[in-house]
Amino acid sequence: MIKVKRLSHATFETPDVQRQVDYFTQVCGLQETGRENGTVFLATKVGDLAIRLDRGNESKCARIAFQVDPATDFADVRKGLEAEGIKVKESSDVAPGIPRQVSFEDPKGTVLEVFAGQTPIGKNAEVKGIGPLKLGHLAFCVDDPKKYEAFYAKVLGFRTSDWIEDWFVFMRCGPDHHTINFVRGKRTIMHHIAFELKDAAQIFSACDFLGGRNIKLTWGPGRHGPGHNIYTYHRNPDDQIIELFTELDKMLDEELGYFEPRPWHRDRPQKPKVWHGPSDVWGPPPTPEHLRQRD
């Protein structure tokens, strides 16, 4: 089993690369750090690689990259994956700051990239737009969330943080309450990608920024139940849902639960559980424009 430590970046294929570059730099607030053979690399304002854009026939999240312990032996990683019947590919210099990685597919065909060493690809920079601190998590609509929970736990070492009934699972690979989510839907597609902002003030500033550009919110602002993050959602030009969030719960101790207690926590300590019914602490319900991602 691999034990990944954190989410690094996601690769999106899109029919219109420049349109997505414009969105991620002018609205989302990432910095373009380089182009190579039609591929564009985008980093956060602190210089960490967050998004890679490739040209494709349709808009989709094609790859997700995770980091493991820098001392990891890739020979052991490959041996363990092949023992599970997983086809593995080794590559070098596939992205700036990442000298070596192994890659393989999850059950829905998304390529998972695993690397050990990484260096920032940009410097602290002033950016236009909202300016997130990091790529926080991704969520996917799938036919059977339990199947993906089992795969990501066994192969990548993810732990389950929470369920909403039997149709939405939240999983973590580090201290953040969730890094990858799977929700039951009628088709297999990315549900949303989420960027972390500094605080609630930046969330509300982002709402004003989006409103000033006639980009409508599909949900929020509000505070979720699972994870307890303050959130807001909108769609980018490729019709993908983008979440902006802050104040996500962190699991600082696996045995003792989530810390530090907050007024919105209904249980103390917070530990993995199954949520039932409406779970948001406060905020409006999702709009039909948001819910159609699961249709």
Q: What dihedral do alpha carbons 239, 168, 156, 96 form, nearest 10°?
A: 20
Predicted confidence at residue 5, as pLDDT, reads 93
Predicted confidence at residue 294, as pLDDT, reads 61
User: Which residues, 6+ apart, have CB-to-CB distance to 222 below 8 Å?
Assistant: 230, 231, 232, 280, 281, 282, 283, 284
**Amino acid identity, position 126:** E
CA 8 to chain centre: 9
In the predicted model, residues of the chain with pLDDT beneath 70 are: 294-295
Predicted confidence at residue 14, as pLDDT, reads 96
Query: What is the SS3 assignment for 65?
Result: strand
Predicted confidence at residue 107, as pLDDT, reads 94
**Amino acid identity, position 143:** D
Query: Which two tokens mark 36?
Result: 């190579």
Domains and CATH numbers, the chain: 6-115 (3.10.180.10), 134-294 (3.10.180.10)
How far, in Å, CA of 79 to CA of 74, rounded? 8
Predicted confidence at residue 210, as pLDDT, reads 97
Predicted confidence at residue 295, as pLDDT, reads 60
Q: How many CB atoms lie within 10 A of CB 47?
A: 17
Query: What is the SS3 assignment for 110?
Result: coil
Alpha helices, DSSP H, located in the chain: 17-22, 74-83, 145-156, 200-212, 288-291
| pLDDT tens digit sequence for 142-195 | 999 999 999 999 999 999 999 999 999 999 999 999 999 999 998 899 999 999
Predicted confidence at residue 262, as pLDDT, reads 86
How far, in Å, CA of 243 to CA of 235, rounded? 9
